[in-house]
Homo-oligomer: A and B are copies of this chain.
Amino acid sequence: MRVTIKDIAKELGLSAAAVSKALNDKEDISQEIKAKVKEKAKEMNYQKNETAARLVSKKSNTIGVFVFARDKIKMEESSAFKYIEVYLNRVKNLGYDVLLFSIDDDDNINNSVLKLCLERNVEGVIIIGANKNQKCIQDVIDYSIPTVFVEANITGNLTTNISFNDVSGIEKSIAYLENKGHKRIAFIRGDLRTDLSRTRFLTYVNLISQFSEYNDNFVFQGDFSLESGYEVAQKVIELKEKPTAIVSSGDLMAIGLMRGLKEKGIKIPEDISIIGYDGFEIGRYIGVPLTTIKQDFLKMANETVDMLFEMIENKIVLEPRILEVELIIGESVRQMV
């Protein structure tokens, strides 16, 4: 049997309440009792039962982190993991635990996010990569539980969001290419069901229409994986009229694409220029350093935690935030003549 406060109360001839107060450093208890109790607790190897404490205090000291993964196995390729470590450390220092969930579309019915939150009594929620239309999140949006959506433009009751400026990112890419004299610019998009992919793609469409004709053949579908980028190479090859530059919605797809093109004898940037998106460190280490849009994941993670706890503490809803991104110039884009 685990030792409880009753045990240590009995041992010391005190009441359970006194022990509880001592252990929790309450004001209305003498120093000597505090000392005695704490010593005894250590001696008896007492461990607080948080479950019980949480039941009465109605505080769970837990925040829920939900990661939406379209592609089960490839969650590691999402940016989610770049955030989670920060969450873990920050949240731990604030005295909270992190309950982590991975959600996919099949989960809609039985595991609504709200259900999981209410059952576990989480005090705040971070949701990465969701999209408005998923049934399983509708209810959290309405419910008054502090929630921050990451990379999804969703607001609601005590709900806000934070994203990178995807419009600006694509603008910077395209402007840079234009400057370098590129006109025929292709695009690799991700799954359009996410806000992020949609925004990047639509921005491309808007901009491209301004100085050339939008061409369906210049749009390729990927899923952010190395492999999906690699496969695009084959499709590029088959094009009669090739683009002079390709903008990828993600660095990994860009890297896969570069590999694919290389194997087909296409030189980068001499034959085709490439721009990625993400600013992953690895992009600087591959054969041709990748020109890309850098996102400050660390900052994103920290601001997310800031926002969440401000909402938890003050019960106010915050304005959504948008983080700026930066063009990183590698060697994967050439100047057209």
Chain A residues with CB under 8 Å of chain B are 2, 47-52, 54-55, 60, 69, 72-73, 75-76, 81-82, 84-85, 88-89, 92, 97-102, 111, 114-115, 118-121, 226-227, 230, 252, 255-256, 258-259, 281-282, 284-288, 298
Contact = CB atoms under 8 A, between A and B. Distances in A.
A88 B100 contact: yes
Copies of this polypeptide in the complex: 2
Given A100-B100, A281-B226, A285-B226, A51 B85 contact: no
Nearest to A259: B285
B101 A88 contact: yes
Nearest to A46: B118
A85 B119 CA distance: 22
A252 B47 CA distance: 41
Given A85-B102, A259-B286, A282-B282, 18 more contacts: A47-B115, A47-B118, A48-B119, A50-B119, A50-B120, A51-B120, A69-B85, A81-B81, A81-B84, A84-B100, A88-B101, A98-B100, A99-B99, A226-B285, A230-B285, A255-B286, A285-B286, A286-B287
Nearest to A115: B47
6 contacts: A51-B120, A51-B121, A98-B99, A227-B281, A286-B287, A287-B287
A258 B284 CA distance: 12
A89 B76 contact: no
Contacts of A97: 99, 101, 120
Given A55-B51, A285-B255, A285-B256, A73 B85 contact: yes
Nearest to A260: B285
A89 B73 CA distance: 10
A47 B2 CA distance: 29
A72 B281 CA distance: 16
Q: Which of A55, A111, A226 has the most B CB atoms < 10 Å from its CB?
A: A55
A107 B273 CA distance: 47
